[in-house]
Structure 1
Amino acid sequence: MHWVGAGAGEDADTLPAITSEGAEGISVVTCAMNRTENLLSALRSWLGFTEISEVIIVDWSSDVPVAQSLREQGIDDPRIRILRVDGEARWILSYAFNAGFRAARFDKILKVDADLLLMPDFFARNPLPARSFVAGNWRTSRAGTGACERVLLRHPGRSVRGGGVQRIHHHLWLGRRRSVPSADRHRRPADRRGGQHDPPSGPQ
């Protein structure tokens, strides 16, 4: 595991533990394995937001490295940080996202699938009150009821307490790093009009 591009000087072998600390801002965390075509389309939509402080992409052993694809497409933004994981034949989503969460440097985290295009009014439609989180619903997503049922914006402390997430049901979430006492009571449904999925281009 190693950083590529903007984060190349950082030590990826000793990622920090997930804590409640972080500078003010929003870290977008995503991961992909051979879904770069979708990722490139989604990434352009994320970079259009001044609210987003960094975009962490966990490249889980894609055949063509994500960093190479970004260079070929002329995508160069100092907010992009790519964490490359080599030698993994099997896609393990929870491992990939946990690495991204640990690398996040800001006090709010927006976890998104690599194919999710954010609409220009996403943050206006999905405000984040204190002691709350915004989440989609994976059950209704399976029923095809809207892209932002696959989003989560939250304080991630509760989800990742004890070292990491074992299973990830939310395809998008947004929240602050400190823990939420009651996940059900403080959950706010994501406005499904805030995003849409790019058509799939690969298996992951």
Structure 2
Amino acid sequence: MFDSADPDFFLAHYDITWDPADTISMPTDGPTGMHPWLDALARLSRAPVVSIAKVQGRARGAGSEFVLACDMRFASHERAVLAQLEVGLGLVPGGGPMHRLPYLIGRGRALEILLASNDFNGELAERYGYVNRAVPEAEIDEFVDTIADRIASFDKSALAETKHHVDEVTLADYSLMPAALDEFWRSVAREGALRRLGQAIKDGLQSRSEVELDMGNYLAGLDAASSGK
């Protein structure tokens, strides 16, 4: 089970101030032969164990990608926020949400999440199927512990084999994902993305600020702000 000790953030997003060259050059020596981020997500999804994300803060961008790679997702009704923010910043998502969301929620809703770059609270995320369900904050710890303990009490071979057969029809071929990550790196260097990212950093991106806390609303006006309109 994965959770976070930070009440505001499960996993915020990729650190866009980090030198891209350092990330791009990471060795691709994992079992899948893909970039370590894609390798970790693919291995998590296909591991013969059950992974559960308990989301009680914000999970956007890479945070959302990690949550989507887990087998199950439970969100705090009051505190969870999920989003794929990349398109709102002029970027292409790189960690495979285009290949995971359609299997979970259908093409139309996947495109809405990806292209509108809006924040989804726990209630709406549950309605869309972005998460398994939203649980009241006061009850989520007990709820997730109970379901995790119940699953863990069952025969491990039966669990692994059943998950494997579900994976066969619900997980995209991970060989599709490197092309999207390459497109992410190309998009980072485009003029429009650099302008939007520069404005967002100036306004508080990458710090515990209103930009990070209320990203969905902030992105709605970012293009005009970054263009000086």
TM-score (norm 2): 0.24
* Structure with the greater alpha carbon radius of gyration: 2
TM-score (norm 1): 0.26
Greater fraction of residues in helix: 2
Greater fraction of residues in strand: 1
